[in-house]
Structure 1
Amino acid sequence: MLKKNDLISFEENIKKIYEAGKIKAPIHLSGNNEEQLIKIFKKIKKKDWVFSTWRNHYHALLKGIPKEWLKKEIIAGRSMGINNIKYKFYSSAIVGGILPIALGVAQSIKLKKQKSMVWVFIGDMTFETGTFHECYKFSKNFNLPIKFIIEDNNMSTNSPTNKVWKKKSKVPNDVLKYSYKRKYPHHGTGGWVLF
């Protein structure tokens, strides 16, 4: 299992490559949530599926995707959509876009009577969407092998979630949620000013 410093070093290296102009597409860097993810990934098995968002580098690494392969994908401009069938890893830059796909995989696992699980990482703003609530309800009604994890940094791109919704929805007991302060802006490596 990778350690906190391994994850941080990887993202710092990607940051340097990006700032040197060698990545010709947006990047979405992770940071300040290493410990929470390491703890969660101790429960995720090799045979399980992981679905993630555009901020997926840590998830990919912790799922076992080799650093060299991931780095090549990011340099090739695919930071926001890392996908690797061998490691059962899928991500999407579309807000809420991974939810119905993950749900379908969970239903397939159940129909085939397999023993694997689906783990879906979403942001706090995606949690507030109708897509999440419909997928969650379907997964509960049909007892699907799926676990939802909310990564709450109180931001949707650059909009504070609590200001957009005024009151956040209640998180169901069987949904994991952790809060953290993002280290990097929505994309890139600099800082954004919030007005």
Structure 2
Amino acid sequence: MSGSLADLSAMLRIRHFEDAVRDLFTRDLVRGSTHLCQGQEAVPVGVCGELAPGDTMTCTYRGHGAVLAMGSPLDRCFGEILGRAGGVCGGRGGSMHLTDASVGALGSNAVVGAQLPIAVGAALAAQHLGTGAVTVTFLGDGATNIGAFHESVNLAAIWRLPVVFVIENNQYGEYSPLATTTPVARLADRAASYGIPGVFVDGNDVGAVRAVAATAVARARAGDGPTLVEADTYRQQGHSRSDPATYRPPGELERWLARDPVTLLADRLTEQGAATPAELDAVRERARAEVSQALERALSWPMPHPDTRLEGVYA
């Protein structure tokens, strides 16, 4: 698989969405922090593009792109991050708890690794009920060092659960380079400890990600158990909006910008004759307009009414 115009459009929507969120934060329109995924778009687009209706997904607090890739509406995601009543969670979850169960997005999670046992639970339910559904969970490279990772992968392997673990290896656990916190260079190698396949893929190549995801999802759906995928990628922004990322060595960002997943796919489509420059320009403009119009709608929505503050509270 080499990627398509639809993949390019999906990645551009995520890119423009994240750029807009960054701008909203600097204008003090977003409460709390934001963790953006510019540069990582090929991973959620490639993986979620291989899922079927009824499949589910959990992700990290850097999860805007994954939720959008599952099909959640741009305007309602903007609304949630802005704390508006029309947000996917009524404005109550915000950036780090972006959730849209209607499209199978079972939630972003502010706690590192908290999404992993949730994904295992969703996969166990699918197996028990015989729905044939698959769950994908995204995690950062730093999460591979916590207990919930090992417990989740171990249990999924023992019970051959229909779950795919996707490590978005963006080279840093918050501010720490991977090599300073992890004794193995290839995180996919950790799959051997659980007797499951471990696959390394260029996470900036959406076609390559799709191919790996297709195999892993098919394996899970067939009842053959989980796969651990390591997608090698890079976050172009800092860890959060308060992080200027001054710890990056000189030239590192520039090297990764030269492999920007959006540019890589656009160039490939042109080289293969799959799209003309005019078609690419049209896709870019349409994505920009869709994001702009969605944001305009979300900004027009009211804040949640105080009388609704206890809705959705269990006790």
Fold-level similarity (TM above 0.5): yes
**SS of the residue aligned with 1:39?**
helix
List aligned pairs for 1:42-81, cutoff 5 A: 42-76=49-83, 78-81=94-97
* Counterpart residue identity of residue 233, structure 2: Y
1:108-164 CA distance string (max 9 Å, x none): 111111111100000011022222112111111111110100000121111112112
Indicate whether 1:102 and 2:155 are aligned.
no
Please provide the CA RMSD for this pair.
1.8
Residue of structure 2 aligned with 1:7, choices 3, 14, 18: 14
Residue of structure 1 aligned with 2:144, choices 122, 127, 152: 127
Distance 1:149 1:114, change over 3 A: same
Indicate whether 1:115 and 2:132 are aligned.
yes
Residue of structure 1 aligned with 2:25, choices 18, 26, 37: 18
**Distance in 2 between the 1:163 and 1:122 partners?**
18
The TM-score normalised by the length of structure 2 is 0.59
Residue of structure 2 aligned with 1:188, choices 241, 249, 253: 241
List aligned pairs for 1:140-151, cutoff 5 A: 140-151=157-168
Deviates more, 1:64-73 or 1:155-164: 155-164
Number of equivalent positions: 195
1:32–1:182 contact (8 Å) kept in structure 2: yes
> When you count helix as a share of all residues, which structure comes out higher?
2
1:4–1:34 contact (8 Å) kept in structure 2: yes
Q: Runs (4+) of structure 1 moved beyond 4 Å?
A: none
1:52–1:98 contact (8 Å) kept in structure 2: yes
Indicate whether 1:88 and 2:72 are aligned.
no
**Distance in 2 between the 1:72 and 1:187 partners?**
20
Per the TM alignment, residue 58 of structure 1 is displaced from its structure 2 partner at its CA by 0.5
Per the TM alignment, residue 189 of structure 1 is displaced from its structure 2 partner at its CA by 6.7
1:76-114 CA distance string (max 9 Å, x none): 271011112212211101011111111111111111111
Indicate whether 1:178 and 2:185 are aligned.
no
Partner in structure 1 of residue 204 of structure 2: none
Partner in structure 2 of residue 157 of structure 1: 174
- Percentage of matched positions with identical amino acids: 23
Q: Which runs of 5+ in 2 are unaligned?
A: 1-5, 84-92, 192-197, 199-226, 249-315
**Distance in 1 between the 2:17 and 2:94 partners?**
16
Bigger CA radius of gyration: 2
Q: Which runs of 5+ in 1 are unaligned?
A: none
1:52–1:121 contact (8 Å) kept in structure 2: yes
1:26-64 CA distance string (max 9 Å, x none): 011111122233222221122111100000111011100
1:73–1:79 contact (8 Å) kept in structure 2: yes
**SS of the residue aligned with 1:3?**
helix
* Counterpart residue identity of residue 81, structure 1: H
Indicate whether 1:136 and 2:189 are aligned.
no
Per the TM alignment, residue 190 of structure 1 is displaced from its structure 2 partner at its CA by 5.7
Deviates more, 1:63-72 or 1:36-45: 36-45
